[in-house]
Amino acid sequence: MKYILLGILFSASSAFADVVVITHPSGPDSMENNQVRDLFIGRSKQLPNGQSADPIDLDQGQPLREEFHDKVTGRSQAQLNAFWSKQVFTGKGQPPRTLDSSASVKSAVASTPGAIGYIDASEVDDSVKVVLTP
């Protein structure tokens, strides 16, 4: 019984990918969790190196999106929906643009100075810079 529970725990923890936050190669060398959070909830509009930030989120329903927001913004999808509904309604902000896949996020970040997004660590290559592993 003990081994079955251990097996379930290990398989559950491996269900999550290793999310990393990426920027265009011209972006900052590293970022703190709170700096990334502030960009993705509209509190900040600039990267630490002064570039105008272009945060890119994955579409709703993607497991990597849920992991990112759990680790970085600390908000569930329902909380994000409520937050952005209020921001849009009051004219205080717009949510980050969304793309349908990690490959699309990586491509957009790689080709857009100031862009910041997140992908699975296994997808990182020289086209982007990892600035945070939450």
Q: How many CB atoms lie within 10 A of CB 62?
A: 16
Nearest to 58 by CA among 15, 131, 116: 116
Per-residue confidence (pLDDT) for residue 15, from 0 to 100: 52
State yes or no: pLDDT of 10 exceeds 50.
Answer: no
What are the pLDDT digits (tens) for 75-134? 999 999 999 999 999 999 999 999 999 999 999 999 999 999 999 999 999 999 999 999
- Taking the mean position of all CA atoms in its chain, how far away is CA 15? 17
Q: What is the mean pLDDT of the chain?
A: 88
In the chain, the percentage of residues whose pLDDT exceeds 90 is 85
Residues in the chain: 134
pTM: 0.84
Domains of the chain, each with CATH number or no CATH: 18-132 (3.40.190.10)
Per-residue confidence (pLDDT) for residue 14, from 0 to 100: 44
Per-residue confidence (pLDDT) for residue 16, from 0 to 100: 55
State yes or no: pLDDT of 5 exceeds 60.
Answer: no
Which residues contact residue 126 at a Cβ distance below 8 angstroms, ignoring those fewer than 6 apart?
25
In the chain, the percentage of residues whose pLDDT exceeds 70 is 87
Cβ 129 vs Cβ 27: under 8 Å: yes
